């Protein structure tokens, strides 16, 4: 007999649709191609790094350099370690072994610097990284493992050395003159992103620019999707604005239905949909880090996160990337040097709604301060089955993959006076996951309200981090809990019959 109640029936098909959408709740692994894996053919590539560029040894660490006035870049922006698309493909066993669903590459288009945020030509792969054929081969290899591939689109600006900009700079009648906002009163003679002269901004409203980037049949966005790419992460999407982003997203979906367009928006996420499919969730990241530092009480953090999800929409948040660090921030191990606080933040990253974004090396506890220290080469000599941080990361990813509610479930705050507590749930009680976190240096005893009508009185709960039964007993929606300092309980109802009996016998 079907025991779905009227509330369950109203949700019929919702969670199945989310599970069928690869973008919802995916685990994203982020890679800087130059720093991820050493090239197998480095000697044959040395000519691609002419002075003042420098090719570093893999064991060397990036350090801040000096500003090169002629090139208008910092010297550390043209230090290279020599990784490429082929070497990235050679390490897909590691990415898949973690349990990742998506490989996200920082920019790979032709550019002068190592980070490639100064595009010379959006249509070409930077020669240090390989060719379009190498990109197609990587896409095929990623897909063969059941994963997806997302590229970084840097369309708000180009590099000063881009032929399109240099031609326009030299000739006011050049066809690309209208692509840029020239003004002799500005440093470098043109509007530049964040006033960095090496990054002249593009007039994205111009019809020819829109045609080239996304609107045309052979545009940058559409061609990459035809080549096997599954989505785009858009750099500084907040600078592009709502309307232009919506046009680009519409073009991507027209080329490949179900593709992903995720925007780097450092502001509150509520109004960025449907201009984007997803955002990089810097708001929840800030809430988590400030909570771990004692700047926001746990219950306030829970209310903040619930508000974000309610106002931005659960569907949008499930697709949005939740990261604790990336190529633009200090590494998590540096931001939260206390291992207990760091691990608590990671549990929350993998249990809150969203697509956890794991920055390469973070699975090893790699440290790194401000740019360029957070962009160190991947320390492959540390990768081993007994590495404690790697084992912990795999445990969290496995936990997420094993529990439907963590991937595609709703969020509901658990009422607590002292804890950061929430519930992930679907239309099935057995999917429910309760998370009760204590972001403080003192143990907490509390009585919390779990507003889930299906969790039965005196029914057993299981601790998902240990796999053991929990001594905590639900009574009329209330739980009495003790959570150690920097500890977290991740609990789920155990609905299995005991000696042939379960109080869940007529509940879906």
- Catalytic sites, residue numbers: 235, 264
Among residues 208, 76, 191, 92, which one has the least CA distance to residue 141?
92
Helices 388-402/339-351 angle, 10° precision: 20
Burial (Cβ within 10 Å: 0-12, 13-18, ≥19) of residue 29? buried
Burial (Cβ within 10 Å: 0-12, 13-18, ≥19) of residue 12? exposed
Among residues 82, 2, 94, 20, which one has the least CA distance to residue 49?
82
Q: Which residue reads 């970084």 in tokens?
A: 152
Report how far residue 285's alpha carbon sits from residue 276's, in angstroms, rounded to the nearest whole number: 19
> Can you say how many angstroms the Cα of residue 386 is from the centroid of all Cα atoms in its chain?
26
Report how far residue 290's alpha carbon sits from residue 292's, in angstroms, rounded to the nearest whole number: 5
Pairing type for strands 67-68 and 278-279 reads unpaired
Report how far residue 423's alpha carbon sits from residue 433's, in angstroms, rounded to the nearest whole number: 6
Report how far residue 284's alpha carbon sits from residue 353's, in angstroms, rounded to the nearest whole number: 10
Q: Answer whether 341's CB lies under 8 Å from 307's CB.
A: no
Tokens of 110: 């032709």
Provide the 10 A C-beta neighbour count for residue 20. Answer: 11
Q: Give the start-end residues of each E strand in 115-197.
A: 119-125, 148-153
229 cis-preceded (ω within 30 degrees of 0): no
274 cis-preceded (ω within 30 degrees of 0): yes
Q: Which residue reads 């043209």 in tokens?
A: 78
Among residues 127, 25, 117, which one has the least CA distance to residue 86?
127
Among residues 331, 326, 284, 329, which one has the least CA distance to residue 309?
284
Length, in residues, of the chain: 508
Provide the 10 A C-beta neighbour count for residue 83. Answer: 25
Among residues 391, 337, 327, which one has the least CA distance to residue 359?
327
Q: Answer whether 508's CB lies under 8 Å from 429's CB.
A: yes
């Amino acid at each position: 007999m079907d025991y779905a109640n009227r509330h369950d029936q109203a949700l019929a098909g919702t969670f199945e649709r989310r599970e069928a959408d690869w973008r919802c709740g995916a685990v994203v692994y982020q890679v800087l191609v130059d720093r991820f894996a050493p090239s197998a053919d480095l000697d044959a590539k040395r000519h691609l790094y002419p002075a003042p560029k420098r090719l570093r040894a893999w064991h060397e660490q990036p350090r801040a350099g000096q500003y090169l006035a002629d090139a208008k870049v910092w010297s550390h922006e043209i230090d290279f370690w020599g990784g490429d698309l082929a070497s990235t493909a050679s390490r897909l066993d590691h990415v898949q072994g973690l349990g990742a669903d998506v490989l996200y590459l920082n920019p790979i288009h032709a550019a002068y610097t190592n980070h490639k945020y100064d595009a010379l030509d959006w249509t070409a792969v930077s020669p240090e990284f390989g060719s379009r054929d190498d990109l197609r081969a990587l896409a095929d290899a990623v897909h063969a493992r059941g994963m997806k591939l997302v590229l970084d689109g840097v369309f708000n600006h180009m590099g000063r050395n881009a032929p399109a900009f240099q031609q326009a700079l030299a000739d006011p009648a050049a066809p690309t003159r209208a692509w840029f906002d020239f003004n002799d009163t500005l440093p470098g003679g043109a509007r530049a992103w964040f006033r960095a002269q090496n990054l002249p901004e593009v007039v994205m409203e111009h019809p020819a620019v829109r045609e080239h980037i996304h609107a045309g049949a052979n545009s940058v966005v559409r061609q990459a999707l035809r080549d096997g790419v599954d989505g785009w992460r858009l750099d500084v999407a907040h600078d592009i604005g709502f309307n232009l982003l919506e046009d680009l997203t519409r073009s991507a979906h027209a080329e490949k239905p179900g593709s992903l367009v995720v925007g780097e928006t450092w502001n509150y996420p509520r109004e960025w949909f449907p201009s984007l499919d997803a955002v990089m969730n810097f708001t929840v990241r800030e809430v988590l880090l400030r909570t771990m530092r004692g700047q926001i009480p746990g219950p306030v953090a829970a209310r903040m996160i619930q508000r974000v999800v309610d106002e931005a929409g659960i569907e949008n948040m499930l697709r949005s990337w939740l990261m604790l660090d990336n190529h633009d921030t200090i590494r998590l191990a540096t931001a939260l040097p206390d291992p207990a606080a760091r691990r608590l933040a990671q549990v929350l990253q993998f249990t809150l709604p969203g697509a956890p974004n794991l920055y390469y090396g973070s699975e090893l506890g790699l440290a790194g301060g401000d740019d360029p220290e957070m962009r160190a080469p991947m320390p492959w000599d540390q990768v081993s089955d007994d590495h404690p941080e790697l084992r912990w990361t795999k445990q969290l990813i496995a936990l997420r993959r094993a529990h439907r509610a963590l991937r595609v479930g709703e969020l509901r705050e658990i009422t607590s006076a002292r804890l950061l507590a929430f519930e992930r749930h679907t239309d099935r009680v057995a999917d429910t996951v309760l998370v009760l976190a204590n972001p403080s240096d003192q143990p907490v005893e509390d009585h919390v309200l779990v507003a889930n009508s299906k969790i039965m009185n005196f029914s057993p709960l299981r601790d998902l981090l240990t796999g053991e039964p929990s001594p905590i007993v639900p009574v009329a929606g209330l739980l009495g809990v003790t959570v150690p300092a920097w500890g977290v309980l991740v609990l789920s109802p155990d609905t299995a019959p005991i000696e042939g009996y379960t109080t869940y016998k007529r509940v879906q």
